[in-house]
Amino acid sequence: AQKITQTQPGMFVQEKEAVTLDCTYDTSDQSYGLFWYKQPSSGEMIFLIYQGSYDEQNATEGRYSLNFQKARKSANLVISASQLGDSAMYFCAMREAMDSSYKLIFGSGTRLLVRP
């Protein structure tokens, strides 16, 4: 079963508007972490934001915020005031505390295109 699901293969957003990228996850672990990475066309993977399963507040990092709804098992990324440089692939990922490998499990990604 897929553990991380990103249902939006591609999205458009107008510059300066906000956009939400969806991510749902599946785990039986009570303790886990959720990550978002950005991959621009140059190919590198850039860490954006982290949310722990026991964190009471939604994580925020500048223009990025994570809408964490634990009961729904969703961890959507919200980008406010989109910029042209936000055009990229975005990956949601999870790490489970029970997993001694500490590996990240990734979703299939969402390609975001910001229109001027």
Partner 1 sequence: DAGITQSPRHKVTETGTPVTLRCHQTENHRYMYWYRQDPGHGLRLIHYSYGVKDTDKGEVSDGYSVSRSKTEDFLLTLESATSSQTSVYFCAISGNPTGLNTEAFFGQGTRLTVV
Binding site for partner 1 (CB under 8 A): 4, 6, 9, 31-33, 35, 43-45, 47, 50, 52, 91, 93, 95, 97, 100-109
Minimum distance from residue 14 beta carbon to partner 1 (Å)? 26
> What is the rounded distance in angstroms from the CA atom of residue 20 to the CA atom of residue 23?
10
Residue 46 tokens read as: 């850039």
Closest CB to partner 1 among 45 and 84?
45
Closest CB to partner 1 among 72 and 103?
103
> What is the rounded distance in angstroms from the CA atom of residue 5 to the CA atom of residue 74?
9
Closest CB to partner 1 among 15 and 40?
40
Residue 63 tokens read as: 């223009």
Q: Is 14 exposed, middle or buried (0-12, 13-18, 19+ CB in 10 A)?
A: exposed
Minimum distance from residue 81 beta carbon to partner 1 (Å)? 24
